[in-house]
Structure 1
Amino acid sequence: MSELKNAVENLKVSTPKRDKIEVMSSEVTDSNPYSRLMALKRMGIVQNYENIRTFTIAVVGVGGVGSVTAEMLTRCGIGKLILFDYDKVELANMNRLFFQPHQSGLSKVNAAAETLQAINPDVTIETHNYNITLIDNFQHFVDTITKGSLNGGPVDLVLSCVDNFEARYTINTVCNEINQKWFESGVSENAVSGHIQFIIPGQTACFACAPPLVVASSIDEKTLKKDGVCAASLPTTMGIVAGFLVQNTLKFLLKFGEVSSYLGYNALNDFFPTMSLKPNPNCEDINCRLRQKEEAARPKVVVEVRTEEEKPLHEENEWGISLIDENEDAESKLSILECKGIKYEYEASSPISETETTDKIETSLDDLMAKMKSL
């Protein structure tokens, strides 16, 4: 026991104490460890990564997907995060990748703000602990989205990470009304599939354009809840969906790559469906129909494609004769055949070598001479 005690004392002496937490500069530079994605700039994928500090993102729902999404954005150095939720942290939430047991009893937004500020104190965190679906909170929610950015204007993007249709419809209604771009995300009840959907009012289908069967049938979704069952309870699925959400958020903000209109995930067979959803002209949301009319009236930009005039292969080739490599098609077919699961309708005969041809000719002459002698 005495040896163990001495070892612990030596460890305490050798470990330097930190009297204060180092607060990094808000400037995004190579020396700033909070610039988690500086490698994107170094490799030439983005040229304006510094602009990440100017953007404001609203995250609605700080649960399984929303909390991980907020953490990823914080580590990427986002300028400001606005968090909305009204739940409290419970021990049942410890299947998340974010919350900790000692935070049990705290509101989710306050617990999230505490953790996120410790990760990156440069990020401005604003929290709102209320239910956005209630009439009393509706106008405040609208005002926060339209005036909550760092410069006092609308936020750059709204990320929906809620787990019920009522909240999704509220976000959809607000974003259609103020013409706000947003991402909808979700994880299935069985926790092994999820999706993200990018919604641009008037250009893509909103959440009301193709309502879920539960909503279209006027079924109270509260009756579908099962006691002791928590949707989106698998941390792997939540982490994957949150990663898709943040990755496409970064592509949209920093303008690199292609933003997915809809990206799904099915863990049972690792299937990732993608699609583009057009708005419904008969959408029940009046503001969605209004945005569609505005989009239709907007002048279309016509991109002129210039094609270079084909020149002859040979300037003095009067008859337009050109030589083609006969082995070209064979080589291209051979390369295609190397692809798994691809085969031809019929197989071409293999080329005959010169030796095989000579042997066949000699054999046929001998046969003819034998036949002539037998006559």
Structure 2
Amino acid sequence: MINISPFEATTQYKSIADEIEKNVCAVMASGRYIMGPQVKEFEIQFAQYLNCEQVISCNSGTDALHLALRALKIGAGDEVITTPFTFIATTEAIGIVGATPVFVDVELDSYNIDTQLIESKITERTKAIIPVHLYGRPCNMTAIMEIARKYNLKVIEDCAQATGATWEGKKVGTIGDVGCFSFFPTKNLGCFGDGGAIATSNAEIAARAEYLRRHGGKVKYHHEELGLNSRLDTLQAAVLLVKLPYLDQWNAARKAITDFYLEALSTTTGIVLPQKLHQGNSVWNQFTVRVLGGKRDIIQKSLQAKGIGSMVYYPIPLHLQEVHADLNYVEGSLPVSEQLSHEVLSIPLFPELESSAQQVVVESVKEVMADIYCLQ
């Protein structure tokens, strides 16, 4: 039976297994399992890749957001504007530092924060904007930075799904004050567990983030602030050092698969395909379509019956999550995000997805859509 998963990690590993195992074994033989030299080397190389001054690694993308907010001294009583159509980590970090998330709806065609709605949500308590480059597609950073400068706000880019994406020639994560990255295994640059990093060209932000990730102390056993234990594991750094040089190649493969999907599915009834960018460059962490007519769930089940896996990112927007009930958003308050939560479906996309498998995915989608929409 056909079985094509939305994401598959072992093929990529096999293609670089010798390099991975060499680096990992070197770490194990060294005995330097915490903050070994591979961690600093990865930070240097990733900063060079992004073309920013400094990268501070940590143990997850969630902690990267947390550290960024702490480094910018955002906390209790402050408001942070962000999108409701993303993973909980974005607002989790805001809440953990004591600040309040303020949601701005997204654009229907880009899935990203609607920059035309941001100014209406700014108050005297607003301290920052966290745009999320969802599915690998960069937000309109030109508009966001103009607003940030106008109101003296900080910008923290959530780049968890967009490592390598660009906007007007700059890598995402280097346009705002801080960029936050995740190296979760399903990301474009993924390690073999949890991992994350912040990127910045501000020396003060980098210094604060660096000591906050080590229990809030600049000198061992001397602690100026309550910090975190959020160091990137040396083994994960060793893996990332091998993978980083392949990132652009893998992102190009994602784009090639996307181009095939866009062409092959262009006339398929019942779905709306993601739009190509006129500015910037997406790295296509996901290929996410909109399924019309309230038939997303049955389409997903029908694809699964054919052996085609898919995922829904995200079925409940953050403003309607129980954890944010105290913010008093009601159903209908952010209609585009709510609409997308009922329509989006991500089909298989990873660099190693072979042409024959891509063809099977396309044929299966067409067959299912034709059957469900009674076009045969």
- Compute the TM-score of the two structures, normalised by the length of structure 2: 0.27
Between 1 and 2, higher relative CO (CA 8 Å, sep ≥ 6) is seen in 2
* The structure with more radius of gyration: 1
